[in-house]
Amino acid sequence: MKEYNIAKEDEIGVGERIVTEIEGREIAVFNVDGEYVAYLNWCFHQAGPCCEGKVTGTTEATWDSENLTQTLTYTREDEILNCPWHGWEYDIQTGECISRSGVSLPSYPVRIEEGNIILSL
């Protein structure tokens, strides 16, 4: 396993990302509320650049079977990564796909060392 110095900590603010190339792979590092996560920029669906898409919330619904009412909520603001090609939604903290169980973005360990963001590959 090799380690790569991606950037200084203050170069990726909260909510920001950088996409970089390491050993021929496009990898994105996100700052999610001060925690860093890294994913391969490759959507499980059709190999789209999923890490370049918008980070948004999403719509969820609950069903009250006693009162026969559905309640919509816009939730998880800034937690959903959307592939710009076809809109596949991923949980930005875990890399898990929202619509298909068992599908996740390949991820890489990231740690901070002396103010530097270090990615292990």
Partner 1 sequence: MSQEVASPDVVGDELTIDSDVHLQIRHEDLVPYLDEPWRSRMKDSHTGQQPNDGWDRTVNGKFLMDFDSVQTAEDLKHSLCNDLGVDYPIINTLGLMSRNPENDWSVALMKAHNDFLIDNFLDVYDNFLGLATITTQQPDKAAEEIDRMASEEDIVGIYIHNTGPNPPLGDSFYDSMWEAAEDNDLNVAFHGSADGFMFEFPRQNQSLNQFIEVHTLAHPWSQMLTMISLIVEGTVEKFPDLRWAFLEAGLSWVPYMLFRLNKEYSMRRSEAPLLEKMPEEYFREKMYVASQPLEEPMAQTDLAKLIDVVGTDNILFATDYPHWDFDNPETLNQHLQRMFDPEDLTKVMTQNAIEMFDLTI
Rule CB under 8 A: which residues touch partner 1? Answer: 26, 41-42, 46-49, 52-54, 56, 59, 82, 84-87, 89
Q: Cβ closer to partner 1: 49 or 107?
A: 49
Q: Which is nearer to partner 1, 36 or 42 (CB)?
A: 42
Whole-number minimum distance, CB 104 to partner 1, in Å? 17
Classify the C-alpha dihedral 104-107-109-111 as positive or negative: negative
- By C-beta, is 24 or 115 nearer to partner 1? 24
- Give the three-state DSSP class for 104: strand
Q: How far apart are CA 95 and CA 83, in angstroms?
A: 12
What is the nearest approach in angstroms of partner 1 to the Cβ of residue 112? 26
Q: Give the three-class secondary structure for 1.
A: coil
CB of 115 to partner 1, least distance (A): 29
Distance linking the first and last C-alpha atoms of the chain? 6
CB-count burial class (<10 Å; 0-12, 13-18, 19+) for 7:
middle
With respect to partner 1, which residue has the nearer C-beta, 52 or 91? Answer: 52
CB of residue 77 vs partner 1: minimum separation in angstroms? 12
C-beta atoms surrounding 51 within 10 Å: 26
